[in-house]
């Protein structure tokens, strides 16, 4: 699955996730990962905002990971609550965000780049 500008990419396998992370790192792009769960009410509420941000910040990779589907990935990043938004640049975690103020966080991090 190729990264497309303005689109949230749902990763359903660890291989898909690793491939997207490698593409982003090779391109020097910011990755914003939405760790979510199908049973999580706040996750469903914030999903349209995450999609809106993907359209606005087309120079970043926006990935969605279901913690029940990719338990190993969630464990690797020590995800303990949903939704959790992880910001990664050049393979390094630069920020973790667990609140609904996602728009503000994206704008703030974009200014730091």
Q: Six-digit token pair at 48? A: 């349209």
Whether 40 sits among the annotated catalytic residues: the reply is yes
CA distance 50 to 56: 10
Residues 11, 40, 105, 106: which is the catalytic one? Answer: 40
Residues 11, 43, 105, 106: which is the catalytic one? Answer: 43
- Given a contact cutoff of 8 angstroms between Cβ atoms, the answer to whether 8 and 50 are in contact is yes
φ, ψ of residue 88 to 5 degrees: the values are -130, 135
φ, ψ of residue 51 to 5 degrees: the values are -65, -40
Q: Determine the angle formed by the axes of helices 41-56 and 102-112, rounding to 10 degrees.
A: 40
Whether 106 sits among the annotated catalytic residues: the reply is no
Catalytic residues: 40, 43
């Amino acid at each position: 699955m190729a990264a497309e500008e303005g689109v949230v990419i749902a990763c359903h396998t660890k291989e898909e996730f690793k491939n997207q992370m490698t593409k982003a790192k090779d391109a020097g792009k910011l990755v914003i990962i939405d760790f979510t769960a199908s049973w999580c009410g706040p996750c469903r509420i914030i999903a349209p905002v995450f999609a809106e941000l993907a359209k606005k910040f087309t120079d970043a990779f926006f990935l969605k990971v279901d913690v029940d589907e990719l338990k190993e990935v969630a464990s690797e990043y020590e995800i303990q609550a949903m939704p959790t938004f992880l910001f990664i640049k050049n393979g390094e975690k630069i920020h973790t965000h667990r609140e609904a103020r996602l728009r503000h966080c994206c704008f703030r991090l974009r200014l730091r780049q």
